Amino acid sequence: MPELPEVETVRRGLAPAMEGRRIERAEVNRPDLRWPLPERMAERITGARVERLRRRSKYILADLDTGESLLIHLGMSGRMLVSGVMLGDFHLDHPAPQKHDHVVLTMEGGARVTFNDARRFGAMDLVRTDREAAHWLLAGLGPEPFGNEFNEDYLVARLKGKATPIKAALLDQGIVAGLGNIYVCEVLFRAGIDPRRQAGRIAAARIARLVPLIREVLSEAIAAGGSSLRDHRQASGELGYFQHAFRVYDREGEPCTTCGTPLRRIVQSGRSTYFCPHCQR
């Protein structure tokens, strides 16, 4: 499932085609994705101007001049693809309609934004912008990793006394929003922390050090366009490239880039965890 860097990459790719432009026509080709789509969705967003695009955790929010925001979740295989615009020196022509093009937005200026989702694990909803914090998908989310509320003192306080493994704690969206399996593995490797260690038993100084490392890893991944392992594509259709910079994730049995020890893979809460048994203590 796309994590914060992949979603932020998609948001940035959509912005030039959507921000400040009206949705001239909205086509909704099925009544549901993972959950039912909003009633009269096409009618409610056709003619609306997109004031701005934001990201909250792993969700994209398009604020409309109608007072509503279009909430988008990519799910496992969802893609938001832009066509009919220039990308550098190349024009992205409109492709032929595809079987899994579930929502198609024709934007003012000629761009087209298509939500394609083969597995239909993605979601879209309309929520009043001034009440979005209470939306069931957003309520309870922790602070954004790049926000001022996410700082060393906050993380130390939230993890104090926690008996859960540090990896599970960092995946808890109520503690910090947007982190997923890939980037937590990479962060813990850079921090030299064993993913199995109880969060509450790690020294405060080491916990505090996680804050800049989280920002560092996420920033590098965003700059690389995210990680493309299976389904992720940028809004232009291009792959992300951060997977080529993985130090531990998906590298079971390969030598550690620091010490040469073969990397290990274990399963925690049904998810694969990759780490170096020598460097991470």
Catalytic residue among 2, 5, 143, 195: 2
Contact 1, 58 (CB under 8 A): yes
DSSP 141-210: ----TTSTTS-HHHHHHHHTT--SBHHHHHH-TTTSSS--HHHHHHHHHHHT--TTSBGGGS-HHHHHHH
| 131 vs 153: CA distance, rounded Å | 29
Contact 155, 207 (CB under 8 A): yes
Rounded to 5 degrees, φ, ψ at 277 are -70, -15
| 95 vs 100: CA distance, rounded Å | 13
Q: Tokens 């939306």 map to which residue? A: 135
Annotated catalytic residue 3: yes
Annotated catalytic residue 2: yes
Annotated catalytic residue 271: yes
Annotated catalytic residue 149: no
Catalytic residue among 11, 58, 112, 158: 58
Contact 118, 124 (CB under 8 A): no
Catalytic residue among 25, 152, 271, 277: 271
Active site residues: 2-3, 58, 271
